[in-house]
A and B are shown apart, each in its own frame.
Chain A
Amino acid sequence: MIKKEIRSILATDCGSTTTKAILIEKRDDVYRLVTRGEAPTTVEAPFEDVTRGVLNSVKEVEELRERQLMDGDKIISPQKDDKGVDIYISTSSAGGGLQMMVAGLVMAMSAESAERAALGAGAIVMDIIAANDGRLAHEKISRIRHLRPDMILLSGGTDRGNIKTVVELSELIKAANPQPRLGMNYKLPVIYAGNKKASGEVEKNLDKISDLSVVSNLRPTLESENLGPARDKIHDLFMEHVMAQAPGYKKLMAMTDADIMPTPGAVGYIMQVIARNENITVVGVDIGGATTDIFSVFKDLESKKPVFNRTVSANLGMSYSISNVLAEATLPNIQRWVPFEINEVELRNRIGNKMIRPTTIPQSLEELKLEQAIAREALRLSFKQHKSFAVGLKGVQRERTISDAFEQTASGVTLVDMMDLDLMVGSGGVLSHAPRRNQAAKMMIDAFLPEGVTQIAVDSIFMMPHLGVLASVNEHAATEVFNKDCLIRLGTCIAPVGKSKYGKDYIKVELDLPDGTKFDRTMKYGEFLLIEAPYTAIPATITPASRKIDVGSGPGEVVNTKVYGGSVGIIIDARGRRPFIIPEDPKERVEKLQEWSKAIKEFDEN
């Protein structure tokens, strides 16, 4: 794409709350992150122009780097001497991101495939319409009419299959005559990716009322999926229609040297790179202000090939939708993570105030603890949704038998096997910007409850979106920066599964630490411990205290493995799994939370 040698790269990510800019420069033939800046996103009034926030964040980079990048409101490109950058790229999730409605014939088949295509492209799926979704036709029409999505993806019917029902779906869309979310002066983009034999009739129905694109069937046969063409079309239309309507995006599109990518699409790409390069299973999370995205790469139960899944919890976030976390998690579930007593009315008011003033940050330690308690619940709920979606899924090229295609969702076996999980990666403000990395590690452990031996990492300064879009321009630079500056290895969590009683022997852990010392301790049930160690392979022997306890090799079996430290260290979590219990008595709960917090050196006060 860009042939000339790239000396410097400026990348921005316009989030719903904050616009983040990073500057990458080539030094001694290696691409490295040199500085970052951020500013509130300015999609809102009074600015209503996303580029203001972009320029403010770049201004901060300029000041910190003490190097001129802009001439007035223009980014200097290409770089001349010490001024400007060679390329400028951006991702965006501001303005509510890409909001789509998908439709298919059968909920568990083509509709689910369509949902997967939309999610994979970085969209929020507002609703799924299917012939068998249990709603009456007029209810579906009313829903389509009122949703006002950015785009509709219509699928349905294998290429030799049902024509009638997919045409019926197009009739419902025609009757609803849905209007786009942003602006009245353009037609709603609709992508048809269903039975090719029905495309003529679908065109007749939808051509006049929408901006219809027809692409290859995303479910050409029962046994296969072909999501690529639909995903690519979603990306194209996102740029052409949705972005072009959002405040200031036309200007931003003119400034960038590559297409603006939806943030989740960029993060998903990077997660897949990690899994591929290291041949591991990965769970990644990006917790934002409005939404939480979960990405996973697990092996298919039969073929053992890696399967990528992404889910987005549209209303579980840390600012715009923080009150919804409270509504969905319920107050007791949030309170169980708060290590001090707080009045219910006060707690609800504080959460409400964060919702209406989404850009504020916790100044006091108490406020920080409260926000991290809510984050645990947002993460937990999002992960729960992800586990129920990532079931029996098949990759694009994956063949499946007819019987398991029918049972795809009904069988409900999740691919997410926590005992098989190698690495958890956290991203998003509350994890990447936690004042201490120990806090990020503890939030992820509490929310995801990893089992057995699991490595933990965070995106250092929330730059995965930038590197995702950079990879589309220069994969080499993206990979170099990713390995050297982006991924911070926090350490490893050792968490046995099995019931026991407080104070009883649970597991014995032996470690040959890099400084030559030996760690050898029998942990009691309910204990939590941090052993500080660097990111290097550490031989470990983990012995369950009874045949009811499993650390990954089966109940009662000894595990001999290598564990890695990191900027936090090795965390032994003997608090138990299945179930993981927090005391219900408020006094006892606060004591336990404080004990665990102290054990992992979570806060300065520890």
Chain B
Amino acid sequence: MAHAYIPGLKVVPNTTVKKARQLPIKGEILRKVGENVAAVDEVAKTHLPGNIIPTNIANKLNIEPADINDFMKKEEGDPIKEGEVIAETNGIFGLFKSSVQAPIDGTLESFSHITGQAILRESPIPVAVNAYVNGVVDEIIADEGVVVKTQAAFIQGVFGIGGEQRGKIKIVTSMQDDPIEEKMIDESCKDKIIVGGAFLTHSAFKKALKMKVKGIVVGGFNYNDIKKIIGYDIGVAITGQEDVNTTLILTEGFGEIHMAKQTFELLKKHEGDVASINGATQIRAGVIRPEVIIPVKADLKKDSPKQEIIGMDIGTEVRIIRAPYFGMIGSVSGLPHKLQKLESGSLARVAKIKIWETKKEVLLPRANLEMIENK
């Protein structure tokens, strides 16, 4: 019997998490392997090349591009100051000179005797990456960054918006199937990562923004409301760069869907602990799912035993990820070999699932199941 390989989302109480912290371009590494780092510590830094201002010197001086060398007052690579003359004609007896002044502070990068164009570059822009989680530097990625290792509770969501945030976890609903309501969010939520059950209303999200909540982890949210927050429709699930101060992570999907019990319980267990979260999602090649990382005290010299990735098997816990049982959790009780006809008329490979909530067994397409990885 072939295993069914169904991508799963991790909900793990204690595991080794490794996060690559990379610069957008090559730069300087600030830490060594084995060094302890706090989430806010810079681990690598670089300078992004400054913006480019092309200026056509030949046109401005009314000269042939081939003659540009004769009129340049600066060499390639020379620093320039705003207002400084970078090219000038001789004029007539020293009079009636034409000149080109630098529009920026920066460098004269190059000029061309073919096009008569000079490339001016603004001063470099410094960028740095921090460790994101409390942990230890596990590996250096030459000239690019480091890998930070931590022992943590690790939860993957299915979709998120907003970037990296840190804060203490605060549970605001009593159960995993309760929605987060506006009234549940108050001053005490400031700088926290709040956790709720099944649903978040748009008004509750607005309140969270107002209360300066760092992040929200919840089962579901209306797709419609995303546009109300960020101002545009998300056509392709590539997120993380949105200009929102409160990161939102959905653990289940769009609509009102209660959070998986074990996800809720795990977050509840860590109430008051500091978590690092990231809403960045990329459902394309090199998939990125939003995440909640809650470091736990452990010996960071040892890695958790690596779990072999195995497929779905009898007893595997699964989440049903499409109607008509969307959001329900169950376990695999059979993996029939032959294709089965669905109500839609399609033939598909199916699995027999015992749904925990209803105690009923149903046949579902394997494609509509997601393993819950809890080891």
A interface residues with partner B (beta carbon < 8 Å): 16, 39-40, 42-48, 52-53, 56, 59-60, 63, 94-96, 137-138, 141-142, 163-165, 167-168, 171-172, 174-177, 179, 184, 201, 246-247, 290, 315, 320-321, 323-328, 344-346, 348-353, 355-368, 433, 435-436, 603-604
Q: A201-B114, A324-B235, A367-B322 are in contact. List 16 more A-B contacts (CB 8 A).
A: A16-B284, A46-B309, A47-B7, A47-B309, A63-B337, A141-B51, A171-B117, A320-B236, A323-B235, A327-B233, A348-B223, A348-B254, A353-B326, A355-B236, A356-B158, A435-B345
- What separation, in Å, do the CA atoms of A324 and B234 have in the docked complex? 7
Contacts of B54 in A (CB 8 A): 137-138, 141, 171-172, 175
Cβ contacts under 8 Å, A324 to chain B? 233, 235-236
A-B contact pairs, 24 of them (CB 8 A): A43-B285, A44-B286, A45-B287, A46-B7, A56-B5, A94-B285, A95-B285, A95-B286, A141-B52, A141-B54, A171-B54, A179-B25, A321-B235, A323-B233, A326-B233, A350-B323, A353-B255, A353-B326, A355-B236, A356-B253, A361-B348, A364-B324, A436-B345, A604-B345
Interchain nearest-CB distance for B264 vs A (Å): 20
Report the bound CA distance from A138 to B237 in whole Å: 29
- The stretch that binds A, out of B82-90, B173-181, B363-371, is B363-371
Dominant secondary structure of chain B at its interface with chain A:
loop
Complex-state Cα separation, A137 to B49, whole angstroms: 16
Q: In whole angstroms, what is the CA distance A351 to B345 when docked?
A: 21
> Do B284 and A290 touch across chains, with their CB atoms under 8 A apart?
yes
**Pair A356/B367 contact, Cβ less than 8 Å:** no
Contact check, A142 vs B222: say whether CB atoms are below 8 A apart: no
Which of the residues A94, A356, A364, A367 comes within 8 Å of B159, measured between beta carbons?
A: A356
Bound Cα distance A63, B119 (Å): 62
Given contacts A40-B6, A56-B5, A96-B284, whether A363 and B342 have CB atoms under 8 Å apart is yes
Q: What is the bound-complex CA distance between A327 and B223, given in angstroms? A: 12
Say yes or no: B112 contacts A184, CB within 8 Å: no
Interface flag for B343 (CB, 8 Å): yes
Residues of A within 8 A of B230 (CB): none
| Residue in A247, A326, A365 whose CB lies within 8 Å of B343 | A365
Which of the residues A184, A352, A603 comes within 8 Å of B253, measured between beta carbons?
Answer: A352
User: Which range contains the number of B residues in contact with the other chain?
Assistant: 35 or more
B144 within 8 A of partner (CB): yes
Q: Are B323 and A367 in contact (CB under 8 A)?
A: yes
Q: Pick the contact of B365: A53, A349, A350, A363 (CB < 8 A).
A: A363
Q: Tell me whether A327 and B326 are in contact in the complex, defined as CB-CB below 8 angstroms, given that A357-B370, A364-B344 are known contacts.
A: no
A364 touches B326 (CB 8 A): no
Contact A352 B344 (CB under 8 A): no
CA distance A141 to B254 in the complex (A): 38
How far in angstroms is the closest Cβ of chain A from B75? 17
The answer to whether B266 has its CB under 8 Å from any CB of chain A is no
Would you give the shortest CB distance from B45 to chain A, in whole angstroms? 16
Contacting residues, chain A, for B322 (C-beta < 8 A):
353, 357, 360-363, 367
B112, B144, B254 pick with most chain A CB within 10 angstroms: B254
B283 in contact (CB, < 8 A): yes
Alpha-carbon distance between A347 and B7 when the two chains are bound, in angstroms: 25
A44 to B255, CA, bound (A): 25
Of all chain B residues, which has the CB nearest A181? B285
Instruction: Report Cα–Cα, A320/B284, bound state, in Å.
Output: 7
